[in-house]
């Protein structure tokens, strides 16, 4: 009589399968790391590009975009704000201000900044000049709620909905990455989407500055939803999920970015601002 033998995998075959699975998983993880690193490098390239654009604009038009005086803007056939009696409406003081009340608001120079760079062909796109992203010359505000903020602000290369906004604080001009979901005529930004992770922020800070969240030309900020534009970031000791910095207070210069993979390092808990060159 013939006996039937159950077919199965040998230990060698199982080992080969496990090795192949391990290589596939490892390749996926490495690929994800490479993608994230590429996004960080591309975003750094954007910051450098915008700094260069500002310097080129200054050389060509004898002023910085957005802040260019009414007469200068009109002379060069650039978008012109008419209410120049108001601070932050093209007053030529060298600062990018969003009106007199709150200089970080999306009104006046903080929006016209990108419109001027677009008009001068120094950035891609037609920012601030399409659909409901149009800016009213007398108020500096958008005509209605901008539900596609990339019509008015450039989008970053990071995964998520981070866009570049501009403003001044303590006499210094800044770019900031922020997860803006809309711009209203109030004027105000509304925030949503995905912020910057502490690990991403650390990568940008290390390549452009000192790698510390509270010192230098690259500074960690809040994502906007809690403390608004230029707000203090979240901090905790030890590191916890959804916390940008490791430290007792958000203003401590000895703080570090929360880079713990298991305790919030990849959570979108940060925003980052970059000082103009």
d(CA 167, CA 171): 10
Q: What is the pLDDT of residue 28?
A: 59
- The candidate with the shortest Cα–Cα distance to 214, out of 259, 245, 238, 177, is 245
Q: Is the pLDDT of residue 251 over 60?
A: yes
- Helices 109-119, 11-61: inter-axial angle, 10-degree rounding: 90
Query: Which three-class secondary structure state does DSSP give residue 11?
Result: helix
Q: Is the pLDDT of residue 249 over 60?
A: yes
Q: Which of 4-13, 68-77, 214-223 has the lowest mean pLDDT?
A: 4-13
Q: What is the pLDDT of residue 64?
A: 96
pLDDT-based confidence at residue 38 (cuts at 50, 70, 90)? confident
Every domain of the chain and the residues it spans = 44-191, 195-275
The string of DSSP codes covering 182-211 is: EEETTTEEEE-S--B-HHHHHHHHHHHS-S
Q: What is the pLDDT of residue 180?
A: 95
d(CA 235, CA 128): 35
What tens digit of pLDDT does each residue of 170-183 get? 999 999 999 999 99
Q: What is the pLDDT of residue 3?
A: 54
Within the chain, strands assigned E span 163-169, 172-178, 180-184, 188-191, 218-221, 235-236, 245-246, 256-257, 271-275
Q: Mean pLDDT: which of 70-74, 159-163, 191-195 is highest?
A: 70-74
What tens digit of pLDDT does each residue of 205-224 get? 999 999 999 999 999 999 98
- Confirm if 43 and 177 have CB atoms less than 8 A apart: yes
Q: Is the pLDDT of residue 35 over 70?
A: no
């Amino acid at each position: 009589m013939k006996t039937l033998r159950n077919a199965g995998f040998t230990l060698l075959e199982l080992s080969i399968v496990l090795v192949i699975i391990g290589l596939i998983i490892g390749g996926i993880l490495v690929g994800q790391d490479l993608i994230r690193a590429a996004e960080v490098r591309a975003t750094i390239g954007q910051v450098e590009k915008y700094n260069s654009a500002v310097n080129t604009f200054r050389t060509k038009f004898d002023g910085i975009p957005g802040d260019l005086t009414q007469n200068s803007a009109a002379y060069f056939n650039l978008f012109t704000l008419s209410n120049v009696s108001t601070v932050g409406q093209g007053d030529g003081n060298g600062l990018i201000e969003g009106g007199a009340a709150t200089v970080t608001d999306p009104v006046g120079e903080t929006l016209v900044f990108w419109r001027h760079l677009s008009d001068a062909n120094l950035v891609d796109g037609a920012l601030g000049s399409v659909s409901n992203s149009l800016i009213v010359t007398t108020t500096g505000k958008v005509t209605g709620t901008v539900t596609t903020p990339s019509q008015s602000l450039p989008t970053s290369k990071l995964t998520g909905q981070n866009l570049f906004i501009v403003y001044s604080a303590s006499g210094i001009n800044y770019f900031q990455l922020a997860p803006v979901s809309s711009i209203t005529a109030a004027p105000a930004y509304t925030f949503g989407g995905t912020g910057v992770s502490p690990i991403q922020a650390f990568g940008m800070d290390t390549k452009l500055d000192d790698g510390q969240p509270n010192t230098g030309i690259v500074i960690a900020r809040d994502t906007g939803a809690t403390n608004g534009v230029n707000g203090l970031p979240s901090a905790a000791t030890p590191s916890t999920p959804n916390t940008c910095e490791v430290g007792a207070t958000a203003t401590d210069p000895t703080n570090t970015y929360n880079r713990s993979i298991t305790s919030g390092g990849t959570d979108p808990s940060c925003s980052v601002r970059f000082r103009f060159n």
